[in-house]
A = this chain, B = another copy of it.
């Protein structure tokens, strides 16, 4: 028979599987993505998948790991925060720029969608989101803001509440971008919103 099967060595196929699976999970969720769909996207039969992953969940977990190993989980050292926070506005700017960069990154976009879809259905993912996104960012922001208060750069308020407020804004913006992209609509109107909200927030907390 015309069996023109191609062979890939190393972890090449494994990578291709992850890429294909990520795309499908981001569009149809875990349950909506079958191993056959993944295999078809890679260009192999479903049975060949099992040479690289022990089962469907293992594929998902390999991708889920990346969700939080991305920029927004980066742990900043205390020294870094100390140094940067004293500069005041630059601190907020840096955070916002990084957040915006992530938001418009194609790869990260897919990971965000997977997270949103599975957040309510997958306890592990929920735990990861809480610790590695929420708490990590709140810690970063609140300690930075606390230092600014000590330095007399910004108004004295509860740093925790302030951090929550700002992270909430940013998250909602990020979600809006994903919603628009899902409908293949333009996101240009939102691209300046990050800066606008940052300026507004800064104008309200800073002491002139």
Interface residues of A (CB under 8 A from B): 26-29, 31-32, 113, 116-117, 119-121, 123, 126-127, 129-130, 134, 157-158, 161-162, 164-165, 167-173, 175-176, 178-179, 182-183, 193, 196-197, 200-201, 203-205
Contact = CB atoms under 8 A, between A and B. Distances in A.
A111 to B, nearest CB: 12
Nearest to A181: B120
A162 B162 CA distance: 15
A75 B141 CA distance: 36
Nearest to A171: B172
Contact of A162 (B28, B168, B200): B200
B120 A182 contact: yes
Highest count of chain B CB atoms <10 Å: which of A27, A169, A182:
A169
A200 B165 contact: yes
B120 A165 contact: no
Given A161-B200, A169-B169, A172-B168, A178 B32 contact: no
5 contacts: A117-B121, A119-B179, A123-B182, A161-B197, A171-B175
A196 B29 contact: no
A165 B134 CA distance: 18
A124 to B, nearest CB: 11
Contacts of A130: 179
Which 5 A-B pairs have CB atoms at the shortest separation, nearest pair first? A168-B172, A204-B204, A168-B169, A31-B31, A31-B32
Task: Output the residue of A29, A130, A170 with the most chain B CB within 10 A.
Answer: A29
Contacts of A178: 120
Nearest to A155: B204
A193 B171 contact: no
